[in-house]
Every structure is written in C-alpha cells, then in structure tokens.
Amino acid sequence: MSVRKSKISASLSRRQLLTGVGALSGLQLASNFPAPSFAAGNPIKIGLQAHRTGIGAAYGYWYERTSVAAVKVINDMGGIGGRTVELIVEDDATDAKRAGEVMEKFATQHMVDVVFGPLFGNVVGASAARAGDLKLPLFIVSEGSELAEGQFNRYVFQTGITNVRSQVTAISPWVIGNVGKKVTMIIPDYIFGYNHRDFITEAAKKQGGAVNAVIAIPPTETSFTKYFSQIPADTDAIYHVMVGPGVLTFVRELGEYFGSKGPKLFGFIDSLEAVDIASPGLEFLEGSHLWEAFPRYLSGLDSEGAKFYRDAVGLDENGASKDNAKEVSTNSHMFGCWETLFSIKQAVEASGYKAASDRKALIEAVEAITSFAEGKEHPQGAKQFIGKAHQCFGRQFISKVEGGKLKVVHTTSIEDGLYEPKADYTTQAL
Amino acid sequence: MITAPALLLALMEGAVGAAVLALTALGLSLVFGVMRVINIAHGEFVMLGAIIAWWCSAELLGAHPVLGFLFALLVAPLLVGLVALAADWLVLRRINYDPERTILATMGLLYIIQQSVLLLYGPDARPVEPPFYFRVQLPWFGYSGYKLIVIALALALLGATWLVLSKSRIGLYMRATRLDAETAQAFGVPVRRIYAIVFALGAMLAAVSGVLIAPMRQAHYLMGTDPLLLSFIVVIVGGLGNLRGTLLAALLIGLGDGMISVLFSPTLAKMIATLLVALVLIVRPGGLTREGAS
C-alpha cells in the first residue's frame, strides 16, 4: 500500500514538474516576442544594409561609421520630427542572395521605417526588387545608373550620391581633352563596370576620342598582371576603375608592368578607395589623375560643411582615421550615407510621417524635393534632385597625384553631369 | 594577337602560378594518397598561412620586411600544422577517417576557420610587405622581382619535401601507409601517428604557399577558395594521391592557366582546366600518368 502511494505521489510530482517546466518555457517564449515599438519612447527605426563582410567590406566599415556619426548628429539636433533615430545595422555579406534576406528581416523582424545603404550593383538590384515587394522605402547609396534608367521601382531612391552615368558625363570632356584620345578601359566585370564602359564609349565618341579596348576583370580576382598584355600598344590613356579586395594589388601590378613609361593614367578613385596613395609600389601614380566625388584631402574641399562632417566621422586632413593614419577612408562614397540620412530627415519631417501607414506620404514627399543646399547636411555640395527619376545630381572633382597626395585640379558643375533620366516612377501605383 | 613579349609574360605568370600551385596541390594529394581523406578545408590552410604572414610582418615585428617574411616562413607552417594536428585529433580520428564523413567534417572545418579569421582578423584585405621590392625592367614590360623569387623558393621547398618523402624513415612510413595501411601496421608502422603527421604536413605545405602568395595578393579571409579549386583540378588530373602525377599536373595546369590567361582570357583558362578534368575522368580515370608509385 505504502509502496503504491509513494508511486502515485512520485508520478504526480513528475507531472507537476513537467507542467512547471512547460509553463516556464512558455513564459520564456513569450518574453522573446518583441515589445511593441512605441513602448520605448517611439524612436524612428532606420535600417542600414551594410557590406560588413565579403568583397565590399572596406566600404561597409566606413558606411557604418559615417552613418553612426550622422545619426548622432541628428539625435543631438533633436532627432527626426522630434523622434530619436534608432539605427539598426544588418550585414549582407556583399551578397545578392543575402540582400533579399536582410530586407525581409528589416521588414518583418526589426519593423524599420526605412532602409538605406547598399552599394555594390548586384546587391542593390536584389534589395531594390525586395523593397518593391515589401513596399519598404529603400535609399540606395550606390553609383549604379539603373535607378534613373527606370529599372527599379517606386520604393527605391538615391538622394545622397550621383550615379556613374552622371559622373562620366561630367568628367569625360576633361579626360578626353587632357589625358588622351585612345582609351583602354579596365573595369570590373559586372553591371557597375558595364555602366562605365557604355557611358565612356558614348562620351568619348562625342569628344572625338575612342575606346580601343575594354578589359573586364571579375571583382573577386586577386592577380592582375595576366590581363595587362591585352592593352593595345597604341593606347594613349588607361582608364581604370576597380573594386573589391584586390584593388591595391591591381594598382601595384599596373605599376610593376608599366613603371613610369606607360600610357597616361586616369582612374576612378574606386581603384584606390581605402588604400594609402603613399603605399610602396604606387610611386608610378605620381602625375596621374583620378576622379573623386568627395576630395580625400581636406585641402581639396575645406568648406564649413566638409570640416564639420570630417570631424564628426573622425577623419584627419589626409582622409584617414584620426586615431590610425593607416586606416584610409572610402571618402568618395561614404558621404552618401550622411547625406541620405539628412534627406530622409527632410522628407519625414515634410510629410508628417508617423508610422508605416504613412509611407505613401513619405514617398511623395521625397519625390517633391528639387534640390539640396550645400552645408552641414550636404557637405559634398549642392545637389539637384529629379523627383520622378528618384535620382540626385551633384558636382564632381578631378584630382592629380602630387607628392603622394591628391590635389584637386578641376571641379565640374552640377549641369556638367546632368542628363535627362528615362525613369518616371511617379506613374507607378503605390 | 600573340607576340613574343606577350608569350614571355605568359610564361612568367604561368611559372609563378605553377610553382605555388604545386606546393598547395602536393599537400592535398599527400593527404588524399595516404589517408584517403578529401580535405575541403585545404584552401583555408593557405589562407591561414597568408594571414599569419601579415601578422608577422605588421603586428608582431614591425621590423624589416625580410625578417618578417623569414619569421612567417617558419611560424606559419608550425602554427597551421598545430591547427591541423588538433583537427586530426578532435575530428578526423573520431570519425575513423571514413571518406564520406571526412568530406562533411572538413567542410565544417572550412567554415570554422574562415569565420574565426573573420572574427579575429576582420573582413579587410590587407597588404603584406614583400621582403624584397624591386622591378625587373624588360624592354617590353616590367615584372615584379618578388615573383621570380617565389618560383625559386617554391622549387626549393618542393625539393625538400621530395627528399623527406623519398629518403627519410618517416617518408618510408608514409609511402608504406599509402600503399597498404593494414600491412604497414602489421610491420610496425604507427599508422595513426602517420595519419596525424601527414595531415599536418599537408596543411604546412598549404601554409607555406600562403606565406609566398600573401605579398603578391594581400591577405584576405576569403582567399582560400581559389587555391582549393585549382588544387582539386590538379589532383584529379594528376591521378588521385599520385604525387609525381600531381607535380606534372601542377606544371601543366599552372603554366596553361597563366599562358591562356595572358594570351586569351582568364575565363577561358578556367573553362579549359575544368574541361580537362572532365576529359581525364572519362578517358583516363587514373590520372594522366598511370599509377606511378612515388
């Protein structure tokens, strides 16, 4: 009898225990649900899709650093529409497949108000498509020209940086006139490189020059000498624009191959972003020219706005990190994050945006913008914004390498880079 | 158009490629030949070698690049060898070197190594100072002096490995284990220990080639994929586990890759290499050289 009784009590206690465990785990599950966002002071949530890892990592680091600095400035100013900005960063590994997942995560898990940040063309394409599906506003900080060509959708904007087509339109008369007429192009083998190829070929023809060879190199390539024998002997000028982790190797091998005797060089600073121009092996660049969107050295652009921006991001006068002179920034791209965040602020405040249900008003408010004035919010310079094409246009800089530093020798006007974009997104339904 | 200077450049690029590739592929082939383990993580050992080369030149020493380079040549294989020994003891031995399971296990190892490096070293590609910096100016083009040194160093290292394999007692044990592990064990060869040593040696060869590559191409956490792919092509074309075939195939693939890349296009070079693998598998599944004992 007593044996039986004890058995019963044992089984009861086991059942009780199980119930307890179940209840506990239930509680735990419940506590895992995110609290409603308005509980914590109702911040405005902005997602940064960053290339933290993968081949765009150098850009990702600086995009994040610039964005954190901009958000701090915005919050010190009182936030956006009186609400504190909460920056949520997700890594897309510079990978198109991952980009879609990141957008999904922003929409369903973090429930952000807007997303910004992707740069690399293939990743931008994937994020843009997802943004349209999710009806989530996406501000790309890229240079791809597809947006203004009408290939994306009404939810995608580029308010902080000019695109390749405009950059090339602005600078090609100077390049063909001052560097050389027979141009060999060395470009990355994907959409960004093709943008360069198409627009330079077109522009060169107009200026009486010609592109006599195009060498496309995969952005994952690590060794470059083998491509250089394709450069025709009668080339006057090499136009180079390379991206990816191998850029330093690329310029170094170009120098090994030509020494100081080769054709004249004109490059997009992309080939040297995050690379110290005074690195050993780059001496041959002396005297060559580079395009910059935002002069790396303070001497190239020392307006009040530019100084304020550089201080906030922590840049020294050589465009490197203040606390580590070897950590060179991607200065010609990352300002786009800063300016994009301020344009989001402007549009949110103009539209009276409160929650996701106001997205239509927000999008129409961005489309209503016509220009941005130069200043702390837009340190790179004034910009014209074409609302129907969702694209901004700004000035460009051409710099010469002198004494291992970059010196601005030519500045274009906004009009130099202006063209009639094909896109009209305002006709698309929201 | 194929010109004499282009041909010369092609030969030089091909020779550098072949020399480094031979070192990497020899490691992979050795591991497969002796242990029957297909090491998917082999490329990561190359990457580890390059990363350690960066640490030696930049972080630890800050001294003269030659010292850093020599130090790296010593330290990288040692450290990577230890990592391989640990992997052998912790993983491969536990699954009894079962061919199918080791593929999965080494794939896991690949991700563990890659992600650990991402955490510790970061996602940036960092330049490694070459020990010697000089340009060889030819009448038509210039060439990196360091690359020429790499060819010499790789040949010396290959010779040394060859000597160990053919003349030393441990080399004899390895060859015996490769031919028949059970009989070797019956004759008193410590097969398990030989397995561990071979796995470490394979990794060390990869690490050394990583140290050699780093000053040419920077150190980056994703750089292991390319050498892995090419090594696999070499090992298949050369005949799985056949060391002499591996060297021959490395020469063929390395030189061929360089030549076709320079004269035509790098994409075509990769296509032809892959096609060659398919052809070899169909026509001569044993590899180009028939069952040559090493």
Q: Are residues A68 and A153 part of one domain?
A: yes
Judge: A53–B123 Cβ closer than 8 Å, yes or no: yes
Instruction: Answer yes or no: is A11 within a domain.
Output: no
Write the CA distances from A271 to A176, A219, A254, B136, integer angstroms: 20, 11, 11, 24
Instruction: Answer yes or no: is B215 within a domain.
Output: yes
- Beta strand pairing call for A383-386 and A156-157: unpaired
Q: What residues of chain B lie within 8 A of the CB of A280, using their CB? A: 129, 133
Region B96-108 average pLDDT: 92
User: How many interface pairs between A and B have CB atoms less than 8 angstroms apart?
Assistant: 79
Residue B13 contacts A where some CB pair is shorter than 8 Å: yes
Q: What residues of chain A lie within 8 A of the CB of B6, using their CB? A: 229
Domain span at residue B72? 4-283
CA distance A163 to A394: 9
Residue of B nearest to A255 (CA): B142
Judge: A222–B223 Cβ closer than 8 Å, yes or no: yes
Q: What residues of chain B lie within 8 A of the CB of A52, using their CB? A: 123
Q: Are residues A205 and A81 part of one domain?
A: no
Q: What residues of chain B lie within 8 A of the CB of A54, using their CB? A: 123, 222
What pLDDT is recorded for position A41? 73
Enter the tokens of residue B218: 């920077």
Q: Are residues A404 and A265 part of one domain?
A: yes
Judge: B125–A245 Cβ closer than 8 Å, yes or no: yes
CA distance A319 to A298: 7
Angle between helical axes of A331-351 and A304-313 (0-180°, round to 10)? 100
A46 min Cα distance to partner chain B (Å): 24
Instruction: Answer yes or no: is B99 within a domain.
Output: yes
Bridge partners of A188, per DSSP, are: A217
Enter the tokens of residue B77: 């294989």
A249 min Cα distance to partner chain B (Å): 6
Does residue A398 contact residue A289 with C-beta atoms inside 8 Å? yes
Q: Which residue has the tokens 């040692």?
A: B78
Counting the structural domains of chain A, the total is: 2
pLDDT in tens, B83-95: 999 999 999 999 9
Does residue A50 contact residue A64 with C-beta atoms inside 8 Å? yes
Q: What residues of chain A lie within 8 A of the CB of B1, using their CB? A: none
Q: Are residues A173 and A127 part of one domain?
A: no
- Beta strand pairing call for A383-386 and A371-372: antiparallel
Name the residue among B220, B246, B239, B237 with its Cα closest to residue B278. Answer: B237
Q: Are residues A406 and A377 part of one domain?
A: no
Q: Are residues A201 and A147 part of one domain?
A: no
pLDDT in tens, B34-64: 998 999 999 999 999 999 999 988 766 666 7
Instruction: Answer yes or no: is B127 within a domain.
Output: yes
Residue B159 contacts A where some CB pair is shorter than 8 Å: no
pLDDT in tens, A229-287: 889 988 999 999 998 888 888 998 998 898 878 899 999 999 899 988 888 788 889 99
CA distance A128 to B45: 37
Instruction: Answer yes or no: is A307 within a domain.
Output: no
CA distance B265 to A164: 26
Write the CA distances from A401 to A177, A236, A272, A296, A408, integer angstroms: 18, 18, 12, 12, 9
Nearest CB among B129, B141, B218 relative to A246 is that of B218
Q: Are residues A75 and A132 part of one domain?
A: yes
CB < 8 Å from A in window 263-282 of B: 263, 266
Distance of CA A52 to the CA centre of its chain: 12
What 3-state class would DSSP assign to B244? helix
Does residue A145 contact residue A195 with C-beta atoms inside 8 Å? yes
Provide the b/e sequence for A105-123 (b: ≥16 CB within 10 Å).
ebbeebbbbbbbbbbbbbb
| CATH code of residue A356 | 3.40.50.2300
Instruction: Answer yes or no: is A4 within a domain.
Output: no
Name the residue among B100, B56, B108 with its Cα closest to residue B77. Answer: B56
Q: What residues of chain A lie within 8 A of the CB of B133, using their CB? A: 280-281
Name the residue among B176, B252, B180, B193 with its Cα closest to residue B17. Answer: B252
Angle, alpha carbons A250-A251-A253 (nearest 5°): 65
Residue B8 contacts A where some CB pair is shorter than 8 Å: no
CA distance B171 to A217: 43
Judge: A229–B10 Cβ closer than 8 Å, yes or no: yes
Radius of gyration of chain A (CA): 25
Q: Are residues A293 and A170 part of one domain?
A: yes
Residue B216 contacts A where some CB pair is shorter than 8 Å: yes
Does residue A291 contact residue A269 with C-beta atoms inside 8 Å? yes
Q: What residues of chain A lie within 8 A of the CB of B216, using their CB? A: 223, 249
Q: Which residue has the tokens 């009009």?
A: A415
| CATH code of residue B233 | 1.10.3470
Region B182-191 average pLDDT: 90
What pLDDT is recorded for position A388? 96
Instruction: Answer yes or no: is A1 within a domain.
Output: no
Residue of A nearest to B145 (CA): A256
Residue B24 contacts A where some CB pair is shorter than 8 Å: no
Instruction: Answer yes or no: is A85 within a domain.
Output: yes
Residue B123 contacts A where some CB pair is shorter than 8 Å: yes
Does residue A91 contact residue A105 with C-beta atoms inside 8 Å? no
Residue of B nearest to A91 (CA): B123
Residue of A nearest to B259 (CA): A226
Region B124-143 average pLDDT: 85
Enter the tokens of residue A412: 């274009």
Q: Tally DSSP H helices, then E strands, for chain A.
A: 11, 17
Nearest CB among B218, B262, B263 relative to A248 is that of B218
Instruction: Please classify residue A206 by burial: count the beta carbons closer than 10 Å to its beta carbon, then call 0-12 exposed, 13-18 middle and 19+ buried.
Output: exposed
Instruction: Answer yes or no: is A376 within a domain.
Output: yes
Does residue A284 contact residue A272 with C-beta atoms inside 8 Å? no
Judge: B217–A225 Cβ closer than 8 Å, yes or no: no
Q: Are residues A272 and A255 part of one domain?
A: yes
What 3-state class would DSSP assign to A237? strand
Residue of A nearest to B135 (CA): A256
End-to-end CA distance of chain B: 41
Q: What residues of chain A lie within 8 A of the CB of B2, using their CB? A: none
Does residue B243 contact residue B26 with C-beta atoms inside 8 Å? yes
Nearest CB among B13, B123, B261 relative to A57 is that of B123
Give whichever of A282-286, A366-370, B119-123, B217-221 has the largest mean pLDDT.
A366-370
A326 min Cα distance to partner chain B (Å): 11
Angle, alpha carbons B248-B250-B251 (nearest 5°): 65
Enter the tokens of residue B48: 């580890």
Nearest CB among B13, B220, B262 relative to A245 is that of B220
Domain span at residue A389? 38-162+334-394+420-427
Instruction: Answer yes or no: is B290 within a domain.
Output: no
Residue of A nearest to B261 (CA): A226
Does residue A156 contact residue A140 with C-beta atoms inside 8 Å? yes
Residue B150 contacts A where some CB pair is shorter than 8 Å: no
Judge: B125–A53 Cβ closer than 8 Å, yes or no: no
Q: Are residues A136 and A277 part of one domain?
A: no
Counting the structural domains of chain B, the total is: 1
CA distance A367 to B167: 77
Judge: A274–B124 Cβ closer than 8 Å, yes or no: yes
Mean of per-residue pLDDT scores for chain B: 89
B141 min Cα distance to partner chain A (Å): 5
End-to-end CA distance of chain A: 76
Helix (H) or strand (E) holding B1: none
State the pTM of this model.
0.83
CA distance A310 to A308: 6
ipTM surpasses 0.90: no
B217 min Cα distance to partner chain A (Å): 6
What pLDDT is recorded for position A353? 95
Best B220, B226, B257, B271 member to test A by mutation, with max A CBs in 10 Å, is: B220
Nearest CB among B10, B127, B258 relative to A248 is that of B127
Along chain A (430 residues), what's the average pLDDT of each consecutive run of 10 residues? Answer: 40 49 47 44 94 93 97 96 96 95 96 97 95 96 94 96 94 90 92 90 88 90 88 91 87 88 90 88 89 96 96 96 92 97 97 94 97 97 97 96 94 95 93
Chain A positions contacting chain B at CB under 8 Å are 52-55, 57-58, 60-61, 218, 220-223, 225-229, 245-246, 248-249, 253, 256-259, 274, 279-281
Write the CA distances from B182 to A299, B165, B177, integer angstroms: 74, 20, 8
Q: Are residues A270 and A406 part of one domain?
A: yes
Angle, alpha carbons A272-A274-A275 (nearest 5°): 55
Q: Are residues A168 and A157 part of one domain?
A: no
Write the CA distances from B156 to A113, B23, B74, integer angstroms: 61, 10, 15
Does residue B20 contact residue B212 with C-beta atoms inside 8 Å? yes
CA distance B118 to A273: 21
